Amino acid sequence: MSMPSSDENKELYSNNTASHQSNSHSTGASRTGRWSTQRIAIYAMFVALTILVSFFSFPIFQMAPFLTYDPSGIVVLVAGFAFGPAAAVIVSVLGFLPHIFSDPFGAMISIVVALALSVPSAYIYQKIRTRKGALLGISVGAVAALIVAIGCNIIITPFYAHLSMQAVLHMIVPILLPFNVIKFTIHGVVTFLIYKPVSNLVNRSH
Amino acid sequence: MTVTVSTSKDTETKKSKQILSADTKENQQYVARLKHISFSYDGGKSWALQDLSLSIRSGEHLCILGANGSGKSTLGHILDGSTAPDLGRVELLGKVVCDSSKDEEHRVDPEAYRSARHNIGLVFQNPEDQIVTTVVRDDVAFGPENLGEPRPQIAQAVKDSLQQVDMLSQADHDPTRMSGGQQQRLAVAGNLAMHPTMIILDEPGAMLDSAGQRDMLDIMARLTLAGTSVIHITHRLEQARSADRVIVLDHGRIIAQGTPHAVLDGHQLPGLGMINTDISVSQQQLPASLANSEKSLQSELLQARGGQNTPTDMLGHVISLKDVAYQFPDSQDHALNHISLSIDAGETVAILGRNGSGKSTLCRVIAALLTPTNGSVSVTGIPIAIPNSKTPKKTRRRNLHLLRQRVGYVMQYPEHQLFADTVFLDVSYGPRNMGLTPEQVNHRVNEALELLGISDVANRSPFNLSGGQKRLVAIAGVLACKPQLLILDEVTASLDPQTSERIINMLEELHSQGVTIIMNTHADQEALRLADTAVLLDQGELSAQGPVEEVLKHYHSLLNSAAHRNTSPDSQSFPDQPLAQEALEDAPSQVTKNHSQRNSSAPLLLQELDPRAKMVTFVLAMVTAFCISKPLQLCLGLLVTAALFAAARFPIRRILTSTRIFLILIVLTSLLNLFITRTGNVLVDVGPLLLTDDGLWIAILYSCRFLIIILLGALLVETTTPTQITDALESLIKPLQCFGIHTNEIALVMSLALRFIPTLSQETHAIIEAQAARGGSIETGSLVQRLRAAVAIAVPVFASALRHADNLSMALDARCYEGGRNRSHYRLLSFNRQDYIFIGLMVLYVLSLIVLSVY
């Protein structure tokens, strides 16, 4: 978890032009904290949303009904696009932390995969703020997440099922790869369709 | 004033208070003085407030009246110190905080603003968004904690302020499960705990039912009596009656002021009709029955005309419900029970009832968004629920598809479902899902926009419109599907009078076209003007049915008795939200009883442990469960788990039911393990089935491992409150501060996130339902259709999260959250002997596992 840079701060505030918090009307009083109350509130809502939708899980790949899809990846991607890599880190970590009480290893994997997905994409989109940049960011994030997800699966599956590492390696091509490709494709396509309307909302209200 | 513990921050606050009190001696009579202030949102192109001057005396109860867009909320923000005007001089609590005659750098004085805000309270419309935790007393303590007050003082402030709003007996309850009215009282208490000199209430009753609104007026009267200055901002004329002084705003200027009597009586005030007068209309004031009978005669004629178009059942009813009951999955009470109802084609029916009486649930059952747990439902001739019979999935899907084309559903706050880039695209979502041709879609959309008078905004983004226009666009999105039956859930809730009037006119027009209308409402006038008949729901049952006036009389007597209950200390009103239905069964008094029973019996070891000790050792035990591989280890693991359950005296059955999805998964994976293991001695060998003793052991081992993990995790969550978990998290991650990580803030983010999950969950489900009612579905259709449905759900869900974030940040500001560094803590975590013993035992357990794995 890294401390948000001051650049991040600027970016969040630069979105503030429309609201009553804009510079000419600012009372300066709410800036005393290290994070603005707005930043805290936004992080909290995105974390809540990640936790919430991570429970909306369903199988998408008939070969492996035990692997389920949930839309939480979309939330972390959008958080990173709208509020930068620091938000992506916070939302990825806190959003999957509660799962530690039901599935400790699963929670850790989810955190690592979410970080791999959202941080590179948020970083790229921060540098290239165009549709192409978004597409590039999503693609790089998806590939990174795909590699990390399969790597983690290889390590963790033997804990869950009585399978040797060898047996898990044999599952990569027929099961793990297609499942994760489908999963990150859905994440990517939906994010690509909604990031613009959502960023407009962010710019409008903050 | 005695200073017991004083941190540097603490003395600072004290000092500023002393300065303040010295200052206020000079300007004793004023809490706020505004001189010639002007405010513009667009850099001077238009002015939200123009050259406005206003002085508010100490202890005064001032009501600021104005229509939407009159500038009253902007004025509120200037008075609460959250925003500074472009021009003019602002003096708050005796201090000049802003003066445009000074040079730009010194125009605003942030320090003066900050200290003034510590003594100004703010309560705004959304009750839910002002709650920061899941325990009443913690929520009240949040403000004093932010001011860095010492613990004993916080405890006293919590007690005093809860007493002032009659909620002391509910100090340990979960505010997220309370009614809106109670939540607003809690918001007031949260402000009172910071000892404000002045409280600003911005439309505090806008989202409450009549009883909740009365509650707010009552609280305001009490605050005035206690000497606090009260500023009440509203667009409802009748709520201004109890104020000392009323000012009326229009286009950013004060156009009238004086006593309520002088201002309100006999004057026509711009944009402030007397439409939403559900409180002031008493039974005697109900219009003469003559007008009403004339109206029903008219509607009978219309019925004859329009009724033929709408498909009905054999008896000619558009809707017929027989002995319908509905129970939410997580509740033991019926949200609806014994509902039998028939509605004829072309009829307009008002559903009345308090919040939480089951009105919304009834609407959702009729719209086929909920399947009743009992009884039969038939809507527009389509059977959507038949008792004791299972309709094949295909038939059911076809029926639903047909129903969606005939029935329109406008959910509560329908503007929350908006998603598209333009108004036109948003409204066309429903018709496109119906598979109409592009020309037909265009025609439908234009017709709907015209009916609501919003054709001029067709190409604008729905998110850029005013609140009222957004509502109209969302309604147009439903009307574009040309429903024969229209269901509306509180369609004019918290709207300004003009937009309400426009909606009422539109409904009259639809009624004359023969559309059957079912509407939930709190507003008497709306029911009287529109409905042919009314039904009254009380606690999920039909308590009256018939002519609107008769039913209204019943409704008012119900409200009066509820208001009586509310003024008694152990009041309990009924929450509106389905998720909150459970709260009905855990009446607060019972919870308190359980609590005291628990306390009187032998101590519950697990519940009294320090949450940090519990969390760390439990997670350790859960992780090490994966290393269990020998029978002895497994026995030890199961034994320790059982011992922990015994120590908590927690019924294991409750956890088994709450984790049943995981348990099913365990069974499935263990079956997999059972049959893929080919080593060991063969026990059974029938055809392809091969069972070995190794396989059996592996199946048992893996399922028991997971059982231990799931049971321990669930036990931890069940015996630890969310507040304890986040407190423990804050304390555990504190060492990370060395790396520059803002641990206090992160803990607050986590705790706010946990508190808002139920709220967001409810809204997400409402959005999914509303889009489903417009024919959007992720589960069926082509890939493009499914993606479109996903977007139509995802965008409003994010919009809702951002909306809550906006309000929440306002609430955090109102409670003076200024970063985690200087906060004090109401609850203290401390390790004592039993925590050390517990940690010792758990470490011993883990060590034994390791020892056993070696030998």
Least confident of A2-11, A151-160, B464-473, B686-695: A2-11
User: In chain B, which among 710-769 make CB contacts under 8 A with chain A?
Assistant: 710, 713-714, 716-717, 736, 739-742, 745-746, 748-750, 752-754, 756-757, 760-761, 764
CA–CA separation, B272 vs B816, rounded Å?
34
CA–CA separation, B277 vs B239, rounded Å?
9
**Could B419 and A197 be called an inter-chain contact, meaning their C-beta atoms sit closer than 8 Å?**
yes
Residue B537 is predicted with a pLDDT of 92
CB distance B607 to B648 below 8 Å: yes
Residue B5 pLDDT level (bands cut at 50, 70, 90)? very low
CA–CA separation, B799 vs B470, rounded Å?
13
CB distance A15 to A84 below 8 Å: no
Least confident of B92-106, B149-163, B643-657: B643-657
Q: Which residues of B touch A155 (CB under 8 A)?
A: none
Helices (H) and strands (E) in chain B, counts: 29, 22
Least confident of A9-23, B221-235, B533-547: A9-23
CB distance B200 to B208 below 8 Å: no
Q: Which of B83, B618, B713 sits opposite A20 (nearest CB)?
A: B83
Which among A143, A167, A165, A145 is positioned nearest to A156, based on CA atoms? A165
User: In chain B, which among 619-648 make CB contacts under 8 A with chain A?
Assistant: 619, 622-623, 626
Q: Which residue of A has its CA nearest to B666?
A: A160
Residue B791 is predicted with a pLDDT of 94
Question: Which residue carries 């989109």 as its tokens?
Answer: A125
Question: Does B665 share its domain with B544?
Answer: no
Q: Which of A35, A161, A189 sits opposite B787 (nearest CB)?
A: A189
**Could B795 and A198 be called an inter-chain contact, meaning their C-beta atoms sit closer than 8 Å?**
yes
Number of domains observed in the structure of chain B = 2
CA–CA separation, B239 vs B217, rounded Å?
8
**Could A40 and B812 be called an inter-chain contact, meaning their C-beta atoms sit closer than 8 Å?**
yes
pTM of the full structure? 0.84
Q: What percent of chain B has pLDDT over 90?
A: 47
Q: Which residue of A has its CA nearest to B722?
A: A98
Residue B581 pLDDT level (bands cut at 50, 70, 90)? very low
How many CB atoms lie under 10 A from the CB of residue B108?
22
Two structure tokens written together for B574: 């009924």
Give the torsion through C-alpha atoms of B381, B387, B388, B390, to 10 deg. 40
**Could A94 and B113 be called an inter-chain contact, meaning their C-beta atoms sit closer than 8 Å?**
no
Largest Cα–Cα distance in chain A? 65
User: In chain A, which among 142-171 make CB contacts under 8 A with chain B?
Assistant: 159-163
pLDDT digits (tens, 9 = 90+) for B343-368: 999 999 999 988 778 899 999 999 99
Kind of pairing, strands B229-234 and B198-202?
parallel
B431: exposed, middle or buried (C-beta count within 10 Å: 0-12, 13-18, 19+)?
buried
β-bridge partners, B49: B39
Is residue A15 over pLDDT 60? no
Whether B677 and chain A come into contact, CB under 8 Å, resolves to yes
Residue B178 is predicted with a pLDDT of 84
Q: Which residues of B touch A202 (CB under 8 A)?
A: 802
pLDDT digits (tens, 9 = 90+) for B479-516: 999 999 999 999 988 888 888 999 999 999 999 999 99
Strand ordering across the sheet containing B516-520: B407-410, B485-489, B516-520, B348-352, B533-538, B541-547
Beta strand segments in B136-286, E? 198-202, 229-234, 245-250, 253-258
User: In chain A, which among 108-147 make CB contacts under 8 A with chain B?
Assistant: none
CA–CA separation, B284 vs B764, rounded Å?
42
CATH code at A37-53+69-143+185-205: 1.10.1760.20
As a whole number, mean pLDDT of residues B805-810 equals 93
Residue B271 is predicted with a pLDDT of 61
Least confident of B128-137, B690-699, B742-751: B690-699
Q: Which residue of B has its CA nearest to A105?
A: B623
pLDDT digits (tens, 9 = 90+) for B585-631: 333 333 333 333 334 344 567 778 899 999 999 999 999 998 898 99
Question: Does B459 share its domain with B385?
Answer: yes
Spell out the domain ranges in chain A. Answer: 37-53+69-143+185-205
Whether B673 and chain A come into contact, CB under 8 Å, resolves to yes
Whether B818 and chain A come into contact, CB under 8 Å, resolves to yes
User: In chain A, which among 53-72 make CB contacts under 8 A with chain B?
Assistant: 53, 66, 71
**Could B804 and A43 be called an inter-chain contact, meaning their C-beta atoms sit closer than 8 Å?**
no
Residue B604 is predicted with a pLDDT of 63
Question: Does B482 share its domain with B368?
Answer: yes
Question: Does B358 share its domain with B474?
Answer: yes
As a whole number, mean pLDDT of residues B287-310 equals 40
Q: Which residues of B touch A71 (CB under 8 A)?
A: 794
CB distance B427 to B448 below 8 Å: yes
User: In chain A, which among 24-43 make CB contacts under 8 A with chain B?
Assistant: 24-38, 40-43
Q: Which residues of B touch A206 (CB under 8 A)?
A: 802, 806
Whether B147 and chain A come into contact, CB under 8 Å, resolves to no
Residue B129 pLDDT level (bands cut at 50, 70, 90)? very high
CA–CA separation, B325 vs B328, rounded Å?
10
Q: Which of A38, A49, A193 sits opposite B787 (nearest CB)?
A: A193
Give the torsion through C-alpha atoms of A125, A130, A136, A140, to 10 deg. 10
Whether B418 and chain A come into contact, CB under 8 Å, resolves to no
Is B38 inside a domain boundary? no
Cβ density class B302-337: b for 16+ within 10 Å, e for less: bbeebbeebebbeeebbbbbbebbbbbeebeebbbb
Residue B19 is predicted with a pLDDT of 46
Residue A1 is predicted with a pLDDT of 38
Question: Does B523 share its domain with B614?
Answer: no
Cβ density class B357-367: b for 16+ within 10 Å, e for less: bbbbbbbbbbb
Question: Does B618 share its domain with B541?
Answer: no
Q: Which residues of A touch B717 (CB under 8 A)?
A: 101
User: In which region does residue B71 sit, left (phi positive, over 0), alpha (psi from -120 to 50) or beta (all else)?
Assistant: left
β-bridge partners, A124: none
DSSP per-residue string spanning B507-553: HHHHHHTT-EEEEE-S-HHHHHHH-SEEEEEETTEEEEEEEHHHHHH
> B819: Cβ–Cβ under 8 A, 6 or more apart, which residues?
A32, A33, A34, A35, B744, B745
Could you tell me which residue, B741 or B793, shows the higher pLDDT?
B793
As a whole number, mean pLDDT of residues A94-107 equals 90
Residue B270 is predicted with a pLDDT of 63
Question: Does B649 share its domain with B710?
Answer: yes
Question: Does B390 share its domain with B527?
Answer: yes
Residue B382 is predicted with a pLDDT of 87
Residue B682 is predicted with a pLDDT of 78
Q: Which residues of B touch A92 (CB under 8 A)?
A: none
Which among A173, A180, A154 is positioned nearest to A60, based on CA atoms? A180
The count of CB pairs under 8 A between chains A and B is 216
Is residue B317 over pLDDT 70? yes
As a whole number, mean pLDDT of residues B712-719 equals 89
As a whole number, mean pLDDT of residues B825-842 equals 90
**Could B757 and A197 be called an inter-chain contact, meaning their C-beta atoms sit closer than 8 Å?**
no
Q: Where are the alpha helices (DSSP H) in B313-367?
A: 359-366
Is residue A21 over pLDDT 70? no
**Could B108 and A27 be called an inter-chain contact, meaning their C-beta atoms sit closer than 8 Å?**
yes
Q: Which residues of A touch B736 (CB under 8 A)?
A: 1
CB distance A67 to A53 below 8 Å: no
As a whole number, mean pLDDT of residues B779-800 equals 90
Helix (H) or strand (E) holding B691: strand B689-692
Whether B414 and chain A come into contact, CB under 8 Å, resolves to no
**Could B818 and A27 be called an inter-chain contact, meaning their C-beta atoms sit closer than 8 Å?**
no
Is residue B305 over pLDDT 50? no
CA–CA separation, B607 vs B103, rounded Å?
59
Q: Do the interacting molecules here have an ipTM over 0.85? A: yes
Q: How far is A136 from chain B (nearest CA, A)?
A: 21
As a whole number, mean pLDDT of residues A95-117 equals 92
Question: Which residue carries 């008219």 as its tokens?
Answer: B298
Residue B315 pLDDT level (bands cut at 50, 70, 90)? low
Q: Which residue of B has its CA nearest to A16?
A: B806
Considering chain B, what is the average pLDDT of its residues? 83
**Could B760 and A202 be called an inter-chain contact, meaning their C-beta atoms sit closer than 8 Å?**
no
Residue B779 is predicted with a pLDDT of 78
Is residue B70 over pLDDT 70? yes
CA–CA separation, B459 vs B139, rounded Å?
44
Is residue B529 over pLDDT 60? yes
Question: Does B557 share its domain with B651?
Answer: no
Q: Which residues of B touch A45 (CB under 8 A)?
A: 753, 756, 760, 801-802, 804-805, 808
β-bridge partners, B743: none
As a whole number, mean pLDDT of residues B403-431 equals 93
Q: Domain residues for B380?
A: 293-566
Question: Does B367 share its domain with B480?
Answer: yes
Question: Does B615 share its domain with B706?
Answer: yes
Two structure tokens written together for B655: 């956890």
Q: Which of A194, A204, A206 sits opposite B791 (nearest CB)?
A: A194
As a whole number, mean pLDDT of residues B427-450 equals 93
Residue A56 pLDDT level (bands cut at 50, 70, 90)? confident
Could you tell me which residue, B4 or B398, shows the higher pLDDT?
B398
Question: Does B481 share its domain with B533?
Answer: yes
Q: Which residues of A touch B461 (CB under 8 A)?
A: 200
**Could B813 and A94 be called an inter-chain contact, meaning their C-beta atoms sit closer than 8 Å?**
no
Whether B698 and chain A come into contact, CB under 8 Å, resolves to yes
Helix (H) or strand (E) holding B607: helix B605-608
**Could A37 and B813 be called an inter-chain contact, meaning their C-beta atoms sit closer than 8 Å?**
yes
Is B763 inside a domain boundary? no
Residue B68 is predicted with a pLDDT of 79
